Structure 1
Amino acid sequence: MFRKQILIRAAFVLVGALSVGSLAACGSDSSPEEGAPAKVRFGVPTNLGINHTPLGAAIGLGYFEEEGLDVELVITGEEGIQGVATGQIDIGTFTPDRIYQVIEQGGPQSDLVMVYNYLRGPTASIAVLDESPIRELEDFAGATFGASDVASANLLISDAIVGTVGLKYPEDIGHLGVGIGPAALQALVGGEVDALSLWDTEYAAIEAQGIKLRYFSVPEQEALFSTTAFTTTEYKEQNPEIIEAFGRAVARATLFTITNPEAALGVMYETFPELRQAGVSEEEQLEVDLIALNARLKLLELEDGMQWGEYNPDNVEMWMEFGADNGIIPAAIEDWESTFTNEFVDAYNDFDPAVVEKQAQTAGAE
């Protein structure tokens, strides 16, 4: 079993789902002392889970501190985009659909820009029990989708999937917040919902328990990247070195996770003990969590010719078209090139991969 040999050095604050008002309390008016680490308020929309392993590893392995950053992790809930837009969060992560919605609406809080392409493919799909009578998309008429909560961005994708056959929410389908993990599974098995609208790691964890699922998606999803890091144009222009350092730490942690997923999970367990399940041995939990994490790795790996954090402009344009065609955003954003940047990609990749790979390969060695 992996035993972490590295001190946990990056700052960590878990504040729970926050209101925008309480987000303001995370800010600081003090100027950093010369030579001190740069403080970064980093927002993620959901409580940490196995799907956050590379981000958690960047904290637990000390990569952020090595890059000169003092990272405060804030769990924002669905208000994370507004938190970034108003400057209460410096760098956030979210799925593109919600970011595009805010940008398309316009106004003073719409000046957002995606800066690091984290999950390079789609995580969302609709899942039903294998024995479900639902066999075609048209069969979802009258069905209820269970999601982590009713504001989940995954429901946008699920609605778009069934929208390709003319089904619409709320006329033809329903939404119900059922949580994740055992609660979501119970809602599906117990018939409270007809299908789940979750993501890859959650589905993998369910199937690891011997429950077979069937999945529904559409070909248009294949080019859609998922969770992405974003900030405001103002923050990007004023803090390029912070963004570069942040992305480089994430890139290093992503490579570590891909190289040795078990070691990365060991970092997560030790850094965030609240992730450990009561009454389950670490070995038993690791076995299940590895299945979930391995399902995620294919979305973290680099495609040929791409670098860590890089966006494929063609995929950004496809997102615009998919979102506009399927009701995720009212209309395509004409100036879609301004919604992302690859200007920091060279800096993200300015590290020696062999050093990270060796660290991962030897992690936990006695």
Structure 2
Amino acid sequence: MNITRTATALTVTALVAGLAGCAGGSDSPSAALTTIEFGLPTNMGANNSPMAVAEAMGYFEDEGLAVDIVVTGDSTSIVQGIDSGSLDIGSTPPEPIWQAMTKGSDLELVYNYIRKQTGSLAVLEDSPIESLDDFEGASIGQYSLGTSNMFLSEGILASAGLEPDVDFSHLAVGTGAAALQALTSEQVDALSLWDTEYAAFEAQGTPLRYFTTDEVASLFSTTYFTSTAYAEENPEAIEGFGRAMAKATLFTATNPEAALRIMYEAYPDTLVAGNSIDDQLEVDLVALNRRIELLTAGDPQGTQSWGAYDEAALEAWTDFALGAGIIDSAVDSIAAAPNTFVTAYNDFDGDVVIADAENWSAE
């Protein structure tokens, strides 16, 4: 697996070598493998560790796939990449997808990855902000100014009648230590990030308070999507990609420590300078375990529903997006997420994957 980090125009700025020495992987994709250009809005970290598992355990290669990760830094660029054909499959929460659809983009949601909502607004425990109304005049820290979490936070605050750039503002603060420093130094009043980031902050001793709405809390989060044309022309690639990610998610849920150690080996940049692996595991396991609760909500292994979208959840998403002003016209979310590939995603022996995870060793 290669990672390409890009600017918003998808211009390559660096290329990181793939997963050398990992089980089932290879230094360069075989000519016999189908390459998928996969758009990821954030850098590799505990929240994305199943991707590393899918490569290291050979799940992608078993499906005849070689996956190149293109890190864009924001979600909007991924939608643009899918539209232009420079990306094959993308990862983002739904907000920018709905927005693009209202402007004529022909997109299809193909795999429901994070089955519950990850995003919310967070403040320090002793913050004077006690309600959504108190966000008037606030500066909110975002990973970037093209992130889907910015749209989500605007939707949350719209429920209190607050408008962006009128009643509150956004500031790009990144993630990790930089985002936490922006909050604790009062550069921003709140953060609009996601579950694993917040869990890591709290694990390191910074208690937070959270703000969302019942409607937002019920929504699914990150989804995999593509163009309708790509889905029609490459069904086997999508089926294989989704099945590999279902296996990797089950592996991660079974043995999260193994998933993290696999990620550290494959992506040494995920290790914080000066931290021992044991110290980082202590923090990352808290974050990853919180994410696993959302990845496995509704027991997808037991119900054989990896990747599946619920129609009520799709309707709830577009109702929220329309009511919050994220989109200015309705979209047919049910037609855009037809669950075409769900049976194929679930066509694997879960007991084998569980055994692989339980028996995994770094030796």
- Please report the TM-score for the alignment, with normalisation by the length of structure 1: 0.90
Code of the residue aligned with 1:43 in structure 2: it is: G
Q: Paired residue for 1:126, among 121, 127, 130?
A: 121
Task: Give the whole-Å Cα distance in 2 for the aligned partners of 1:326 and 1:105.
Answer: 18
Give the aligned partner of residue 311 of structure 2. 313
Give the aligned partner of residue 9 of structure 1. none
1:42 aligns with 2:31: no
Task: Give the whole-Å Cα distance in 1 for the aligned partners of 2:55 and 2:33.
Answer: 14
Give the aligned partner of residue 327 of structure 2. 329
Q: Assess, with a 3 A threshold, how the Cα gap between structure 1 residues 302 and 143 changes in structure 2: closer, same or farther.
A: closer
Task: Give the whole-Å Cα distance in 2 for the aligned partners of 1:219 and 1:177.
Answer: 26
* Within-5 A mapping of 1:1-366: 12-20=1-9, 22=11, 36-78=32-74, 79-106=77-104, 110-303=105-298, 305=303, 307-333=305-331, 335-364=332-361
> Which moves more between the two structures, 44-53 or 243-252?
44-53
> Which moves more between the two structures, 52-61 or 312-321?
52-61
**Would you identify which runs of 4 or more consecutive aligned residues in structure 1 move more than 4 Å?**
none
Q: Assess, with a 3 A threshold, how the Cα gap between structure 1 residues 123 and 104 changes in structure 2: closer, same or farther.
A: same
Task: Give the whole-Å Cα distance in 1 for the aligned partners of 2:69 and 2:356.
Answer: 24
Q: Which runs of 5+ in 2 are unaligned?
A: 16-29
Aligned to 1:15, what secondary structure does the other structure show? Answer: strand
Code of the residue aligned with 2:162 in structure 1: it is: L
Contact 1:302 / 1:308 at 8 angstroms: preserved in 2?
no
Aligned to 2:91, what secondary structure does the other structure show? Answer: strand
Shift of 1:364: 1.0
Task: Give the whole-Å Cα distance in 2 for the aligned partners of 1:20 and 1:176.
Answer: 21
Task: Give the whole-Å Cα distance in 1 for the aligned partners of 2:36 and 2:269.
Answer: 23
- Please report the TM-score for the alignment, with normalisation by the length of structure 2: 0.91
Give the aligned partner of residue 6 of structure 1. none
Aligned to 2:327, what secondary structure does the other structure show? Answer: coil
Task: Give the whole-Å Cα distance in 2 for the aligned partners of 1:365 and 1:139.
Answer: 49
Aligned to 1:51, what secondary structure does the other structure show? Answer: helix
Task: Give the whole-Å Cα distance in 1 for the aligned partners of 2:136 and 2:2.
Answer: 43
Contact 1:61 / 1:267 at 8 angstroms: preserved in 2?
no
Identity, in percent, stands at 49
Aligned to 2:5, what secondary structure does the other structure show? Answer: coil
Q: Assess, with a 3 A threshold, how the Cα gap between structure 1 residues 192 and 313 changes in structure 2: closer, same or farther.
A: same
Shift of 1:35: 8.5
Contact 1:147 / 1:177 at 8 angstroms: preserved in 2?
yes
Task: Give the whole-Å Cα distance in 1 for the aligned partners of 2:51 and 2:31.
Answer: 25
> Which moves more between the two structures, 126-135 or 68-77?
68-77
Task: Give the whole-Å Cα distance in 2 for the aligned partners of 1:91 and 1:231.
Answer: 5
Aligned to 2:330, what secondary structure does the other structure show? Answer: coil
Aligned to 1:71, what secondary structure does the other structure show? Answer: strand
Q: Assess, with a 3 A threshold, how the Cα gap between structure 1 residues 147 and 67 changes in structure 2: closer, same or farther.
A: same
Shift of 1:121: 0.8
Code of the residue aligned with 1:104 in structure 2: it is: T
Task: Give the whole-Å Cα distance in 1 for the aligned partners of 2:179 and 2:330.
Answer: 33
Shift of 1:336: 2.6
Task: Give the whole-Å Cα distance in 2 for the aligned partners of 1:362 and 1:129.
Answer: 40
Code of the residue aligned with 2:181 in structure 1: it is: Q
Shift of 1:143: 0.7
| RMSD over aligned Cα atoms | 1.8
Code of the residue aligned with 2:336 in structure 1: it is: T
Task: Give the whole-Å Cα distance in 1 for the aligned partners of 2:230 and 2:153.
Answer: 33
Shift of 1:207: 0.2
Shift of 1:286: 0.6
Code of the residue aligned with 2:63 in structure 1: it is: E
CA displacement 1:219-254 (0-9 Å, x = unmatched): 001321111111111111111111101100000000
Code of the residue aligned with 2:170 in structure 1: it is: H
Q: Which runs of 5+ in 1 are unaligned?
A: 1-11, 27-33
> Which moves more between the two structures, 61-70 or 302-311?
302-311
Task: Give the whole-Å Cα distance in 2 for the aligned partners of 1:155 and 1:340.
Answer: 23
Give the count of matched residue pairs.
343
Shift of 1:365: 7.2
Task: Give the whole-Å Cα distance in 1 for the aligned partners of 2:10 and 2:3.
Answer: 16
Shift of 1:343: 1.1
Task: Give the whole-Å Cα distance in 1 for the aligned partners of 2:155 and 2:9.
Answer: 28
> Which moves more between the two structures, 144-153 or 289-298?
144-153
Task: Give the whole-Å Cα distance in 2 for the aligned partners of 1:191 and 1:365.
Answer: 42
Contact 2:39 / 2:91 at 8 angstroms: preserved in 1?
yes
Shift of 1:350: 0.5
Task: Give the whole-Å Cα distance in 1 for the aligned partners of 2:293 and 2:258.
Answer: 17
> Which moves more between the two structures, 114-123 or 77-86?
77-86
Q: Assess, with a 3 A threshold, how the Cα gap between structure 1 residues 217 and 21 changes in structure 2: closer, same or farther.
A: closer
